[in-house]
Amino acid sequence: MENSRDFAMDLIEKTYETHESLLRACLSYMSTDDVTDMLKTNECLDCFTEAYLEEFGIKNKGNKS
């Protein structure tokens, strides 16, 4: 069964949209809490220090600084 996520990927695959334009649209649409949760879920914050993340207002419990 296809869904809206599949449709968005199809837009990229058929070059109607670029990866960057769709990423920008998603980030603009999402709340900052949603973006932080997505970054944590995908382990994108673990290589940064707490001090650096705090510059962006991100608290990452369990981060190795």
Domain boundaries, the chain: 1-30, 31-65
Q: How many CB atoms lie within 10 A of CB 19?
A: 8
pLDDT in 10s for each residue of the chain, 65 residues: 699 999 999 999 999 999 999 999 999 999 999 999 999 999 999 999 999 999 999 988 754 44
Whole-angstrom distance between the N-terminal and C-terminal Cα of the chain? 43
**Hey, what are 51's tokens?**
């001090």
**Hey, what are 5's tokens?**
């996520």
